Amino acid sequence: MHKQFEAMNIGKEPPDDNGKAPRPMKTYAAGALAAAAALALFSLVAGSESIASLSGDAQEKWNDVPCPAGMEVPKVDANSRVLVTGGAGFIGMSLMASLGSRDAKTKPAVVIGIDSFNDYYAPAMKRGRAQRLKTEFGYDVIEADVCNTEVIDKLFEQHRFTHVVHLAAQAGVRYSITHPMTYVHNNYECVVSLLDYVAHKKPQPAYVYASSSSVYGLNKKIPFSELHAIDHPANLYGTSKFGNEQIAAAYHNIHGLKSVGLRFFTVYGPWGRPDMAVSLFTNKIENGETITLFNGGEMWRDFTFVDDIVQGIELSMEYCADNAAVFNLGNSKPVKLGYFLEQIEKRLGVKAKFKYQASNAEIKETYADVSKAHELLGYQPTTSIESGLDQFMAWYKKLDKRTRDEWAGGRFKAGRRR
């Protein structure tokens, strides 16, 4: 199901929220972290210049730099070797399964995942995903921290990866309020550690990573566009993801590392994370528990089905721009929370109990402008919220009640602070 590397002592770090010492980060990456974090902070404070009228080349219109003649990104085909971090996560597993379902000409020769299997949400669910990948596709998910460069080095020595898709991260808006240092470790230290390793490989592999719609924070321009300034942060999670984009830009400037950051918008579907609204609401309604609705329920989310997200990831793995590019990946059809809740009630045949609570950390509306992804990647989401919920519910109801309740747990429900 999954393999485990022993931890290797390179240096000691403070324990994480689970009381476990995180695996070490190489010392040369720590200096780069400080410089890149400073760049991210400066960008948040200074904001961005106003958008000028753009014309000419399609990439330049979106502030991307076309790759020079002769420079290209490896195709995803039978010669590819792909490393997916967060391989036991929701999107990571879905990506690996999609790659494993390709035909002989386009199916990568190697697909390997790496995951820490932490208990932010139920490790049993993550192991269930890893088991699915092993049973259906023969793919392994290595149990290790992405910060452990010795593990990464051994995997690269063995497989010489052509593509790295970095999806491992500490997710969650509300959890970032009570557990901020977890985000510093996972969303800054481990990002710099992996980036620094990848940037020094010759040749450099294609590097794609998960950003988030949360980077837009309190921006008032709707729909959110990649051309909009990012200067109104709403929470630490979104700030850490924007920091990832700035760090990627720093590594392009210093080492010429081309990268693609993907701003995901409220991903849902079978095997979805239990802290996300679809799974969280479904389990609570089923068990007669009260749901907390923030900001009087006056919220809209651009719910995006996981298959559409995976389509965008796979397209981005072949995108060539001589800069640190970013794309929105969403459905571009925001759904009001009340309607979304009604659709779950309808499929369960049970009315929800709910209460209202104020929150300054929650963004009122997310709405993706996916014009750039459509124009430059060929991205085209096709799944309606009704169809997506049908597919989620069909999967959910196949699970026995004990499994549904076990997978609904995790540290994300705790309120303790570090």
- Helix, strand, or coil (residue 232): coil
Own/partner contacts of 157-162, CB < 8 Å, gap of 24 or more, are 159/81, 159/83, 159/110, 159/112, 160/81, 161/81, 161/82, 161/83, 161/110, 161/205, 162/74, 162/79, 162/80, 162/81, 162/82, 162/205, 162/206
Return the DSSP state at 218: T
Q: What is the 3-state secondary structure (H, E, C) of 52-87?
A: CCCCCCHHHHCCCCECCCCCCCCCCCCCCEEEEECC
Q: What is the DSSP string of 316-377?
A: HTT--BSSEEEEEES-S--EEHHHHHHHHHHHHT-PPEEEEE--SSS-SB--B--HHHHHHH
Contact of 220 with 231, CB cutoff 8 Å:
no
Active site residue 237: yes
| Angular region, 40: left φ>0, alpha ψ -120 to 50, beta rest | alpha
Judged by phi (left if over 0) then psi (alpha if -120 to 50, else beta), residue 172 lies in left
Are 67 and 231 a contacting pair, CB within 8 Å? no
Residue tagged active-site, from 175, 183, 207, 237: 237
What pairs with residue 326 in β-bridges?
Answer: 261
Alpha helices by DSSP H, 103-230: 123-137, 149-159, 173-178, 180-184, 190-199
DSSP summary character for residue 208: E
Q: Which residues are catalytic?
A: 237
